[in-house]
Chains A and B, each alone.
Chain A
């Protein structure tokens, strides 16, 4: 195998209920105040739950995606010529309009087309990042723009409500005793990934390196995770192998944990399977407790948060904590942000279909 090129993150942008822009995300996750509020965007009187993490002034999804891509490209200091040779990988909820959305977003932002949109539920964006990193690492392209978006809307909200997936107590409590489920949240993000050589040649800013990634399936059930976490454990293992890092060198895990009983326990089992007893000594939190679950966009919003927090040297709290759950024997960050002990962090995501991803970044 040819030596892989290094992959850098040279520009990011994100929107969530925590605010608009990268600074707002960092400030929001370090403040640690959950952003859930009554849904005002549509009628929820027929639903069991009526809260979500929405940004009231959010515009239409195509407009927000375009702003995110332009802002991330500007942050990366990409000129028109550099954007024109960078393909777009978009992650969004599937539907008849998605291919056109991807094409129009690429055209409108001056990018080199959008070959495909990722519609893999809650690993859509993280799979797109892994694919982008793989394309850059083997030298196919110098840079890729990954964009992802989900804005809380009535159809998915009704489905999650009907599936009794939403937390009836209005709080997301990842890994905690008494957790009752997830809450949805707005998320629109864009990230510029670039080969280390191309970034160096043009003197680009570097926020982080994408050191490793892994994608693996459970082969267990259409909708439920493998309770032993075997697929996620293999994704974690693949990410560390690509990075050439040991578990002891990982300073933070931004967990997938949605606040759902069985899936948080499956994630804890996966980390135990991958790392043994050491899994209980790695600082971990799920920022979904703050910005909600952005579904297809969750992987990119959480990657941005992870990059910003580790770059800042402070790890965000796991809000909503009520008490320990013996099924989740992990070092959950509670009460206050914790100093980052190493620059290396994992962002984990899992989805229906038993799909799992792990992204490993190193702060610049």
Chain B
């Protein structure tokens, strides 16, 4: 896909999770219980590394790179855990507060790579790539970003991690760095 144009924007880099050889995603400090955020961070790192090599992303593009996270269901494992804990009259751990919205891991990616564009999380009602690309194109055409890291992720119900030792998790994600379009 890299080098192709989708939705008026050029694909500058792409990555998937898992790719051949992947097992569980690297642990992400501050995020617990669920593979949702670690997979977002891993696929984002992979995509941005393919484009930029090392962190942080170079200026001036870094300051005008948006992060758009697309997920219909969000972090199911964390939400299910919180719902069950509260239903039983318990207290969720404080880290679940910090990972209660997808913005948190999107902000982690932005901080790690020095990205200063908009941070937008959306749940598509139709095709995730089409909706994510439409959001990226709008941000770029409107002038708040020049490039967009688009991350699409879905976590199957009940998936709090890998199916077994050494196996890839059921949570799957695609990251695409979009930019270079001439839509303005």
Contact = CB atoms under 8 A, between A and B. Distances in A.
B125 A165 contact: no
Interface residues of A, number: 59
Q: Which of A94, A134, A154, A238 has the most CB of B within 10 A?
A: A94
Contacts, number: 196
A275 interface: no
Nearest to B127: A115
B86 A351 contact: no
Contact of A119 (B92, B102, B115, B117): B102
Contact of B121 (A120, A165, A238): A120
Interface string B60-104: 001100110001111110010011011001111110111011111
Nearest to A140: B138
A159 B122 contact: no
Contact of A353 (B30, B104, B134): B104
A160 interface: yes
B118 A354 contact: no
Interface stretch (A8-16, A183-191, A218-226, A265-273): A218-226
B144 interface: yes
Given A159-B92, A353-B101, A116 B107 contact: no
Contacts of B72: 96, 98-99
Contacts of B141: 134, 138
Contacts of A93: 101
Interface string B111-145: 10111111111111110000100110011011110
A120 B144 contact: no
Interface in A31-81: 43, 46-47
B46 interface: no
B73 A121 contact: no
Contacts of B82: 155, 158-159
For chain B, what secondary structure do more than half of its interface residues adopt (helix, strand, loop), or is it mixed? mixed
A165 B91 CA distance: 14
Q: Which of A218, A221, A222, A231 has the most CB of B within 10 A?
A: A222
A105 B116 CA distance: 33
A160 B98 contact: no
B46 to A, nearest CB: 19
A95 B103 contact: no
A114 B131 CA distance: 11
B138 to A, nearest CB: 6
A353 B73 CA distance: 19
A164 B117 contact: no
Interface string B166-180: 000000000000000
Contacts of A198: none
A116 B89 contact: no
A238 B75 CA distance: 32
B118 A215 contact: yes
A116 B127 CA distance: 10
Interface string A211-241: 0001111111111000000110010001000
A108 to B, nearest CB: 14
A352 B101 contact: yes
Contacts of B83: 155
Nearest to A231: B116
B45 to A, nearest CB: 15
Interface in A137-183: 137-138, 154-156, 158-165
B106 interface: yes
B53 to A, nearest CB: 18
Contacts of B116: 216-219, 230-231, 234
Interface in B130-163: 131, 134-135, 138-139, 141-144, 157
A25 interface: no
Nearest to A234: B116
Q: Which of B76, B90, B107, B117 has the most CB of A within 10 A?
A: B107
B125 A351 contact: no
Contact of A115 (B71, B91, B103, B126): B126
A349 to B, nearest CB: 12
A354 B110 contact: yes
A351 B103 contact: yes
A283 to B, nearest CB: 27
5 contacts: A121-B101, A159-B97, A217-B66, A219-B63, A353-B105
Interface of A: 1, 43, 46-47, 93-96, 98-99, 102-103, 113-121, 123-124, 127, 131, 134-135, 137-138, 154-156, 158-165, 214-223, 230-231, 234, 238, 351-355
Given A159-B97, A354-B119, 10 more contacts: A47-B91, A96-B73, A115-B131, A119-B101, A120-B102, A154-B86, A155-B83, A158-B82, A217-B117, A218-B116
Instruction: List the 10 closest A-B pairs by CB distance, nearest first.
Output: A353-B107, A163-B97, A353-B103, A215-B118, A94-B74, A355-B119, A121-B101, A96-B73, A134-B142, A222-B108
